[in-house]
Amino acid sequence: AWARIRGRLREEVGEVEYRTWLRQMTLAGIDGDEAVVVLPTRFLRDWVRSHYGDRLSALWQQESPAVRRVDVRLGQQRAVPAGEDGDEAAAPDREASARRTGLAEPLATGRGAARVTDARGDWSAPLDPRFTFDTFVVGKPNEFAHACARRVAEKPALPGFNPLFLYGGVGLGKTHLMHAVAWAIRAGEPSRNVAYMSAEKFMYRFIAALRSQSTMEFKESLRSVDVLMVDDLQFLIGKDNTQEEFFHTFNALVDAGKQIVVSADKSPSDLNGLEDRLRTRLGCGMVADIHATTYELRLSILGAKAAAAGVEVPKSVQEYLAHKITSNIRELEGALNRLIAHANLFGRTITLDGVQEVLQDILRAHDRRVTIEEIQRKVAEHYNIRLTDMSSARRARAVARPRQVAMYLAKQLTSRSLPEIGRRFGNRDHTTVMHAVSRISELMQADSAFAEDVELLRRMLET
């Protein structure tokens, strides 16, 4: 069965990919309902696991349904069976090539003289048709990056904008903006050769070219582009020789008046582990930061995406989500998509109650642990008193009442004990905290306006 599975995979992925990544994969055995396959290096194991893991499981299931999972592990390869790949000698320069490319792990061996036929040819990864300027919602956190991207799209290689370096946290729109630039340039002038790829792909191609001794072709094909975009450059950290290759490509293109667009999760100066000269050059053009989202931006993105999907999403639901899912736009979008799919599937309209049910798991992950400091800060702000009064000895009602509210919320929203809470409020006794908690509860029952006020504070702190 294993031989057939390998054969199928080989057919599916093609010879080049198979030889690069899968040739050294062997079956270690079957353990209950789990097939264990091993690869000799961590790098290969991770690669196979993430790129072929699902496919392997599916093929196994077809071949023998008793196997339900495939576990890809690090392990020693058994002797290569005669007849299968037996004609190949290990490439002598395996270690050397690993060193050159900056990989910590030796690479899979390829056939020494084999040519990687696709070292030339279409460089670019496909562009996502949804990632255009039309669908990009502009707000305070991304307006500068957006303006720079627009400018580059209108007039590539403009001095001062080359390279364009976009950076920001995950899921904030870097890839979206890069694709938007690529689409716009291609639309304006279809003959322009725009190449977009991840840094990971850049490395993979570089390694493949090294192994097949086609680095000249690799260099030529790269240097024939008009616009080169490399996404997630932080991937090259620690990959010294791929960095070096990128550096030379970069210089050659900029010298030839070609545009470069790069993204990363940090600014050039914070990308520790990138060579200094590369960081310097990356910072020479325009560096634009995409900031964390604001409530307003999240709300407009939700509005735009709901409208695009043609689905009615009540304002209250949009506001709730914008409050609750603050991490990044990808998660926000994921939550909205789930709601829309759910509504379509069950033919129901989207309601606030429904949201909590459908998104339970996502929302729970976003329940933040509130700290006592945050509570003190928010409450002090709300009642317009000084933060220091949270722990001062002042007993004036205007100060004492907010302090009690903060203690009450600390008890409700954190897992701190009464003595611990007391300590954080100017070394007060735990009985003081206990008293505050019951006093505020009483007041809330007696005074609905006050209760609403405290509830509002609680909600602000929880989201």
Among 27, 35, 28, residue whose Cα is nearest residue 58: 35
Question: Any contact of residue 334 with ligand ADP (CB under 6 A)?
Answer: no
Is residue 241 at the binding interface for Mg ion, with CB under 5 A as the rule? no
Per DSSP bridges, beta strands 164-167 and 286-289 are parallel
Look at the block and give the residue holding tokens 């353990």.
31
171 binds ligand ADP (CB under 6 A): yes
Q: Which of 21, 60, 136, 250 binds ligand ADP (CB under 6 A)?
A: 136
Nearer to Mg ion, 20 or 175 (CB): 175
292 binds ligand ADP (CB under 6 A): no
Stretch that binds ligand ADP, among 59-67, 91-99, 106-114, 165-173 (CB under 6 A): 165-173
CB 29 within 8 A of CB 52: no
Count of residues in contact with ligand ADP, rule CB under 6 A:
17
216-222: Cβ within 8 A, 24+ apart:
217/119, 217/120, 218/119, 218/120, 219/248, 219/249, 220/120, 221/119, 221/120, 221/121, 221/123, 222/123, 222/195, 222/249, 222/253
Q: Does 165 bind ligand ADP (CB under 6 A)?
A: no
461 touches 374 (CB < 8 A): yes
**Read out DSSP for 186-213?**
HHH-TTS-EEEEEHHHHHHHHHHHHHTT
Is position 131 an interface residue for ligand ADP (rule: CB under 6 A)?
yes
- Which residue number has the CB closest to Mg ion? 175
Give me the least distance between CB of 167 and ligand ADP, in Å please.
Answer: 9
* Helical pair 430-446 and 397-413, crossing angle rounded to 10 deg: 100
- CB nearer ligand ADP, residue 102 or residue 141: 141
- Considering only the stretches 32-40, 59-67, 119-127, 172-180, report the one whose residues sit in contact with Mg ion under the rule CB under 5 A: 172-180
- Find the shortest distance in angstroms from Cβ 197 to ligand ADP: 14
Q: Which is nearer to ligand ADP, 19 or 174 (CB)?
A: 174
Least distance from ligand ADP to the Cβ atom of residue 332, Å: 8
Least separation in angstroms between residue 304's CB and ligand ADP is 7
Q: Which residue is nearest to ligand ADP (CB)?
A: 173
E-assigned strand segments in 179-315: 194-198, 227-231, 259-264, 286-289
Q: How far is the CB of 123 from ligand ADP (least distance, A)?
A: 20
What would the DSSP string read from start to end of 73-127? EE-PPPPPPTTSSTTPPPPTTHHHHHHHHT-SSPPPP--TT---TTSSS--PPPP
Q: Does 314 bind ligand ADP (CB under 6 A)?
A: no
Question: Which token pair is 393?
Answer: 């000895």
Q: Is residue 321 close enough to count as binding ligand ADP by CB under 6 A? A: no
* Contact footprint for Mg ion (CB under 5 A): 174-175
* Contact footprint for ligand ADP (CB under 6 A): 131, 135-137, 142, 168, 170-176, 301, 329-330, 333
